[in-house]
Amino acid sequence: MIELADQFFVLSKQQILLLMPVAAQPLASVLLSIIPIIGVFATLFALTTVLERKGLGRIQNRLGPNRVGPFGFLQPLADGIKSLTKEDVVPFRTDGVLHFLAPVLVMVAALLAYSVLPLGRNMVALDLDAGVLFFFAVGASTELAVFMAGWSSRNKYAMLGAMRAIAQMISYEIPLILSTVGVLMTAGTLSTTGIVEAQSGYSGLLPNWYVLTPWGFAGFFLFLIAATAEANRSPFDLPEGESEIVAGYFTEYSGFKFAMFFFGEYLGLFAANALAITLFLGGWNSPLAILDWVPSYVWFFAKLMGLIGLSIWVRGTTPRMRSDQLMNFAWKFMLPMSLVNVLAAGLWRFTGHGFLGWFVCGSLVAGSYCWLGVELSTKNSLKKRVYRFAT
Amino acid sequence: MLGTGLIKGMAETARNFVGSYFEADRLTTVQYPEERVPVKEAARSFPFLVFDGEDPEKGLRCVACQICEKECPPQCILIVKDTAKKPDFVGKMQFQPKIFDIDLSVCMSCQICVEVCPFEAIKMDVDFEMSRFDRFEGLLIHKRELSKSNGHFQKIHPTDAAAVDANLAAEKAKAEAKAAAEAGAKAKAAATAAAATIAAGAGAAAGTPATKPGIALPAAPAVPTSKPPTSPALPLTMPGQPTTAPAAISFVS
Amino acid sequence: MNLDLAILSLLIGASAVAAITLRDLVHCVLCLAVTFAGLAAVYLRLGAEFIAFSQVLVYIGAVAILALFVVLLTRTGEIENQSRFSLQKLAPLAVCGLVFTGLAGAAWSSSLRGSQESVAASIRLRDVGRELMSAYVLPLEVLGLLLTAALIGAAILAQTEEPNEVENPNGASSHPPAKPH
Amino acid sequence: MLPYLLLSSLLFSAGLAAALLRRNAILVLVGIELMLNAANLNFIVFWKFGPHPESMAPVLFVLFSIAIAAAEAGVGLALILLVYRHFKTTNVDELNLLKG
């Protein structure tokens, strides 16, 4: 029974496939993997937009949207209808093809990333041997889409936004990838399912998740910070800083194309969070041995909702960074920390998983964190501004 | 340092988040169409024309002098004089506007028309829910729609309205005193045989203003000067009464 | 010959030709990115997943973006003013044609021409890692050194020169006026 | 394997044409990248169709080649940037001075 509940979607896919003629089976198998992913994550996107607005509202002592449908939960539907029926304004001088392709490419890249994310036990669309690499390769092509959007708009704000976004994405891609290296080293595989399986089981009461190791803990937060920067979310949302450059690279997009950018951005965020779950939070594994009967996908989506909630919370808290702070943070803090983290993960392999390992790796990570933090915050703190011309 | 500031900030936002569910007075927003913040007395949106009494045509204070039309910086007012005259609140024959249009898409709510109007005929409204489906014709407001009663003015701007009413009453009293004095002088000068015809004419002149209950005009010009101060008693009581939210504005469904 | 390979070849060939003939440099680089993506698809088709993903990550994610940045920074995105055709170009074109015929002829006469795809040839990442850490560890280290040197070198090269080192003071308009010394 | 080889020779000659014909330094670099890619494709094709598919050497060679190409592109583009700053042009025909 528990087994059936856990494998319900896998088994039902197999049953549906058996009903199909043999010739149609490969195509049907692909479609049966793709359509649920798109459907589920589109729904999650809709839910997240309204939850985010309500959450941000509560953080700012407001109510948030509460008009459309019960408690405002049909708001995304209304927004969707609005963006579908809006006029699609394309400025006169735009580079037509690129202007059209950019939002498509953003969405395609974001959706492709889901093909290697295990959503539950045996629930992965494409179990690649190099799954994590595939994820990052697909993520890298988003930069090109952003450039296309910014450049083809023939708009200075769009161009500036695109340049900021690309500079930020390239800078944060390095700590993003380096922070996963520890996990890849320890799990010994690049396959996402392999990494999740390496984290199954329990040592004592606690699960064998990588976040519960000193290097994994640091790596998890490094990954989350870098993923937030990759997804252009607050506090790293200066590519679309509306007080400076209108809306960044999608200034010249309206109607459904704008909605596609929006959708792609959220899909990227979900994908990054899902990868964080896969790499550090044990994927579909349950946190306690006695809760093993809960279906695996429930755990996955519970963790995903938790991380989405965290990102909403962070967005509601942090102010936007300045451009030089952003770059300094990436190159002077994130990069050294992730390198130290790789070293700590290597040491963890040899010091054993007991007290010694905790002491050595923990003090290495915490020490470098404190040292870097003190160093950066004292040496590069803002001095009293000296004006050359104004008195 | 070392991320403690971030943690402090996140604790603060978490407190706000949780608190907004339990402490109602944390919420700063008002659920607009159902609840409304009472309109402040100093609020102003767009101009309207004041009329006395019941009939917006007869009681309109505007005399089509076109000062506001000339003074309006964005030139959103269009006035066309009517050839026919009508008596104003003191009974003097005055012009009236045949057409009085204000283009709300042009109006910038500067209140200059109100400042320059010598007849207290144009005032600022507080109504802000003026969205229309038609961008051009819909926002061109005509005389009929612009005319609002003095009672409305008293309701939205009680202090101003009281001052205006007192002014007008004083003016009217002065005019009446003058008229009475003139009538008395005429009566003295003229033969007693003509007195009956004068009284009849005065009665006819007072016939129109007598229908205006807002100012409660004295019935006849023969009334002594001691009486007018009692007549604007009704407007003078206004300022004390509705300084708090006017009941009709905050209608909670 | 398979249909998917035909489509892929057409895409790669067309985008490669577009990349070298288009007048707008940004279009050229974007077409180059399409070529890289098509080649990654070919690698996938040949069972070299790891290479395909590396190709996308490095070429599209880094090289193409870098080239775009340089195109924008050098303001050469404007149309090159050169004549469409001249006799001077004939010799290089002939050389290219000769190279193509030579290579194609070599491929045609290759003894491996008729050989089938081997099913055994597939990359297992574990093997790649093991090879890199055993037989190829020295090249790997040298490569690491090279990449570090390239990073530092590129950073130094692209660094803005100090205002007093620039011969043409107009070039340093973004800096505050140099102090008299 | 013939179509793959033809494709790679097409890519190589296209890259060569770009390097020889185009005046812009960036496009010359683009041509060089195309040629490198053609070589990489050949490696993979000969690995897949050749007599020793169990060997990892071609794959690793391509991996190293990609990494070197990245370094080359980085340094090359930085050089182009420097040349542009100095001469205000990236046209390779106009860069005919040996003095700095």
Cβ neighbours of residue B227 closer than 8 Å, sequence gap 6 or more: B218
Residues of chain B with C-beta less than 8 angstroms from the C-beta of A373 = 1-3
**Enclosing domain of residue C46:** 1-79+129-155
Residue C168 has pLDDT above 60, yes or no: no
Backbone φ and ψ for A127, nearest 5 degrees, come out as -85, 85
pLDDT at C95: 85
Whole-number average pLDDT of chain A:
85
d(CA C88, CA A104): 42
Tell me whether residue D36 is in a domain.
yes
Tell me whether residue D69 is in a domain.
yes
Taking chain D, what is the end-to-end CA distance rounded to the nearest angstrom? 49
Residues of chain D with C-beta less than 8 angstroms from the C-beta of C86 = none
pLDDT at B168: 86
Rounded to a whole number, what is the distance in Å from the CA of A244 to chain C's nearest CA?
20
Ranges A162-166, B119-123, B125-129, C76-80: which has the least confidence: C76-80
Tell me if chain A has a CB within 8 Å of the CB of C37: yes
d(CA A179, CA A227): 11
Residue C167 has pLDDT above 50, yes or no: no
Determine the average pLDDT of the residues in B232-252.
43
Residue C177 has pLDDT above 70, yes or no: no
d(CA A97, CA A101): 6
pLDDT less than 50: residues of chain D: none
Alpha carbon separation from C109 to A137, C101, D1, D5 (Å, rounded): 37, 12, 12, 11
pLDDT at C145: 92
Confidence of residue B244 (pLDDT cuts 50, 70, 90): very low
Q: How many CB pairs under 8 A join C and D?
A: 232
Nearest-CB residue to B27 (from A59, A61, A374)? A61
pLDDT at B221: 46
Count of Cβ atoms closer than 10 Å to residue C180 Cβ: 4
Query: In A66-225, which ranges are E strands?
Result: 202-203, 206-207
Cβ neighbours of residue C48 closer than 8 Å, sequence gap 6 or more: C123, D44, D47, D48, D59, D62
Backbone φ and ψ for C81, nearest 5 degrees, come out as -95, 90
B2 contacts A369? CB cut-off 8 A = yes
Overall number of domains in chain D = 1
pLDDT at A321: 83
B2 contacts A373? CB cut-off 8 A = yes
Residues of chain C with C-beta less than 8 angstroms from the C-beta of D85 = 161, 171
pLDDT at C178: 45
Q: Chains D, A in contact: 3+ Cβ pairs under 8 A?
A: no
User: Chains that contact A by 3+ CB pairs under 8 Å?
Assistant: B, C
Tell me whether residue C178 is in a domain.
no
Confidence of residue C62 (pLDDT cuts 50, 70, 90): confident
Residues of chain A with C-beta less than 8 angstroms from the C-beta of B31 = 63
Q: Chains D, C in contact: 3+ Cβ pairs under 8 A?
A: yes
How far from chain centre, in Å, is Cα A121?
21
pLDDT at A308: 92
pLDDT at A226: 92
Q: How many CB pairs under 8 A join A and C?
A: 61
pLDDT at A274: 92
**Enclosing domain of residue D11:** 2-94
Cβ neighbours of residue B193 closer than 8 Å, sequence gap 6 or more: none
Maximum average pLDDT range among A222-226, B136-140, B236-240: A222-226
Determine the average pLDDT of the residues in A131-159.
88
d(CA C111, CA C103): 14
Question: Percent of chain A at pLDDT above 70?
Answer: 97
Higher confidence at residue B243 or residue B156?
A: B156
Ranges A194-208, A289-303, B48-62, B215-229: which has the least confidence: B215-229
Determine the average pLDDT of the residues in A229-236.
85
A61 contacts B16? CB cut-off 8 A = yes
Tell me whether residue C107 is in a domain.
no
C112 contacts D1? CB cut-off 8 A = yes
C127 contacts D56? CB cut-off 8 A = yes
Residue C171 has pLDDT above 80, yes or no: no
Interface predicted TM-score of the whole assembly (ipTM), two decimals: 0.72
Residues of chain C with C-beta less than 8 angstroms from the C-beta of D44 = 42-43, 46, 48, 51
Confidence of residue B232 (pLDDT cuts 50, 70, 90): very low
Confidence of residue C161 (pLDDT cuts 50, 70, 90): low
CATH code of residue C36 = 1.20.120.1200
Residue C154 has pLDDT above 90, yes or no: no
Rounded to a whole number, what is the distance in Å from the CA of D97 to chain C's nearest CA?
16
Residues of chain C with C-beta less than 8 angstroms from the C-beta of D36 = none
Whole-number average pLDDT of chain B:
76
C103 contacts D34? CB cut-off 8 A = no
Residue C156 has pLDDT above 80, yes or no: yes
Determine the average pLDDT of the residues in A17-46.
86
Tell me whether residue C115 is in a domain.
no
Confidence of residue A383 (pLDDT cuts 50, 70, 90): low
Determine the average pLDDT of the residues in A344-353.
84
User: Are residues D60 and C127 in contact, defined by beta-carbon separation less than 8 angstroms?
Assistant: no
Residue C135 has pLDDT above 80, yes or no: yes
B3 contacts A373? CB cut-off 8 A = yes
CATH code of residue D60 = 1.10.287.3510
Confidence of residue C80 (pLDDT cuts 50, 70, 90): low
Tell me if chain C has a CB within 8 Å of the CB of D42: no
Nearest-CB residue to D60 (from C32, C73, C131)? C131
- B-chain residue closest to A58, CA distance: B17
User: Model confidence over C101-116: pLDDT tens digits?
Assistant: 888 888 888 776 667 7
Determine the average pLDDT of the residues in B172-196.
78
Confidence of residue A243 (pLDDT cuts 50, 70, 90): confident
Determine the average pLDDT of the residues in B151-159.
87
- C-chain residue closest to A128, CA distance: C49
Residue B240 has pLDDT above 50, yes or no: no
Residue C77 has pLDDT above 80, yes or no: no
Tell me whether residue C161 is in a domain.
no
Residues of chain C with C-beta less than 8 angstroms from the C-beta of D99 = none
Residues of chain B with C-beta less than 8 angstroms from the C-beta of A316 = 13, 17
Q: Which of A173, C124, A133 is nearest to D60 (CA)?
A: C124
d(CA C17, CA A374): 54
pLDDT at A224: 92
Residue A223 has pLDDT above 90, yes or no: yes
Higher confidence at residue B244 or residue A241?
A: A241
User: Chains that contact C by 3+ CB pairs under 8 Å?
Assistant: A, D
Determine the average pLDDT of the residues in B45-60.
85
Residue C84 has pLDDT above 80, yes or no: no
Confidence of residue A307 (pLDDT cuts 50, 70, 90): very high
- A-proximal residues of C, 65-94, CB under 8 Å: 65, 68-69, 72
Tell me whether residue C111 is in a domain.
no
Higher confidence at residue C53 or residue C47?
A: C53
Residue C166 has pLDDT above 60, yes or no: no
pLDDT at A320: 85
Instruction: Work out the angle at residue C88's Cα, subtended by the Cα atoms of residues C85 and C91, and round it to the nearest 5 degrees.
Output: 105
Whether the link from the prior residue into A235 is cis, omega within 30° of 0, is: yes
Cβ neighbours of residue A8 closer than 8 Å, sequence gap 6 or more: A295
Rounded to a whole number, what is the distance in Å from the CA of C151 to chain D's nearest CA?
7
Question: Percent of chain A at pLDDT above 90?
Answer: 11
Q: Label residue B57 exposed, middle or buried (CB < 10 Å: 0-12, 13-18, 19+).
A: exposed
Nearest-CB residue to C53 (from A137, A143, A166)? A137
Tell me if chain C has a CB within 8 Å of the CB of D37: yes
Confidence of residue A390 (pLDDT cuts 50, 70, 90): low
Nearest-CB residue to B13 (from A59, A369, A370)? A59
User: Model confidence over B65-120: pLDDT tens digits?
Assistant: 889 888 999 999 999 988 888 887 777 788 888 888 999 889 998 889 999 988 88
pLDDT at C160: 66
Overall number of domains in chain C = 1
C57 contacts A140? CB cut-off 8 A = yes
Count of Cβ atoms closer than 10 Å to residue B32 Cβ: 8
